[in-house]
Amino acid sequence: MRYTIIGSGAGSRRVSKLALGVMRFGTDTDVSTSYDILDRFVEAGGTFVDTSNNYAYWAGGTQGGESETTLGQWRRDRGIGDELVIATKVGARPTDVVERVENGWANQRNRAWEGLAPENVREQAERSRERLGVERLDLYYAHVPDTNGVPLEEYAAGFAALVKDGVIGQFGLSNHWSWQVERARAVNPEAARPSVLQYHHTYLRPRTDIPDPRLSVDGQIGVADASLLAYLRATPGLTLVAYTPLLSGAYTNPAKPLDAAYDHPGTVARLAALDEVAAETGATRNQVVLAWMLGDAMPVIPLVGASSVAQLDESLAAVDLELSEEQRARLDAAGR
């Protein structure tokens, strides 16, 4: 395993360069399989796990919390202490309860969300700590911008108070515009500035102008676009945690087509380059994508999911895959 440092000062932590997302643990991924995947991740040297207080409400028609509960019980059963760095999130947990539906997420997008009022953020931090069985949340993200009218400055201050009180180690932002990241960093004291950003990022480049009906009429707020990546390069001390780097299997599984956001000429060119490098290295497309991200000069941590140990093992093998400078240059240039 390879490691890096996230954050600075008292809240900084050394974490594995590959993070494990446990979003579906305890719902679509049963508890026994969840334990097997977590055991394998730790055995391989993994120390960075990601969840949220709302995972996975769409899978069960609940308000979420199943993922945190499963992770917390595994920690207790295995005697895992603070050597494991846990990130969780707040702000997108439903406040209503509906019956389970077969089409999960698609039929639940219009549910009411909790938002980021400081009193809710503090209350949910306590609930997450209880489910996870930890004294402090290592990394606590604002999952999405507040949807209930709370100003950014107000909820940023709420996270700063949690850092000051020792409830959380670091404040993170997920799915925010880059101007919101800058504003949150400007209004908070240095010790409580957002230090980790979580966005969708992968080798293929999606269109970002397609409106999100829930969060923004201006486009895809949760994508690491050019503005966000440029901000990351220019801001020492920030780390990008990249979710869905393997496009939920679409790189390798013909039964999972690419999202419409990837339907443009650049995708064809980049997939061709990806296949060339995969053939040269004997690796899978997924492994080349992860190796490309792990070797980036930017501080990027791929966040991988897995529904089986075999899937996790494929991702773990990418940690040791070294791309040549020429291969990286070819991958970077494709589609330009």
What CATH number has the domain bearing residue 235?
3.20.20.100
Alpha carbons within 13 angstroms on the beta-carbon side of residue 55 total 22
- Strand-pair category, 239-243 with 19-21: unpaired
**Residue 90 included in any domain:** yes
**Residue 240 included in any domain:** yes
**Residue 336 included in any domain:** no
How much is the pTM?
0.95
pLDDT, average across residues 53-59: 92
**Residue 196 included in any domain:** yes
Question: How far is 267 from 247, CA to CA, in rounded Å?
Answer: 13
Alpha carbon 165 to its chain's center? 25
**Residue 148 included in any domain:** yes
The tally of domains found in the chain comes to 1
pLDDT digits (tens, 9 = 90+) for 229-281: 999 999 999 999 999 999 999 999 999 999 999 999 999 999 999 999 999 99
Question: How far is 93 from 127, CA to CA, in rounded Å?
Answer: 12
Its domain, for residue 206, covers 3-263+286-323
**Residue 118 included in any domain:** yes
- Rounded to 10 degrees, the C-alpha dihedral 123/129/132/134 comes to 180
Q: What is the pLDDT of residue 108?
A: 59
Q: What is the pLDDT of residue 214?
A: 74
- Give me the phi and psi of 178, to 5 degrees please: -60, -30
Give the sign of the dihedral formed by CA 173, CA 202, CA 54, CA 306: negative
Supply the mean pLDDT for the chain: 94
**Residue 102 included in any domain:** yes
pLDDT digits (tens, 9 = 90+) for 97-125: 665 555 555 555 667 899 999 999 999 99
- Give me the phi and psi of 322, to 5 degrees please: -100, 120
**Residue 105 included in any domain:** yes
pLDDT digits (tens, 9 = 90+) for 26-50: 999 999 999 999 999 999 999 999 9
Burial of residue 55 (number of CB atoms within 10 Å: 0-12, 13-18, 19+): buried
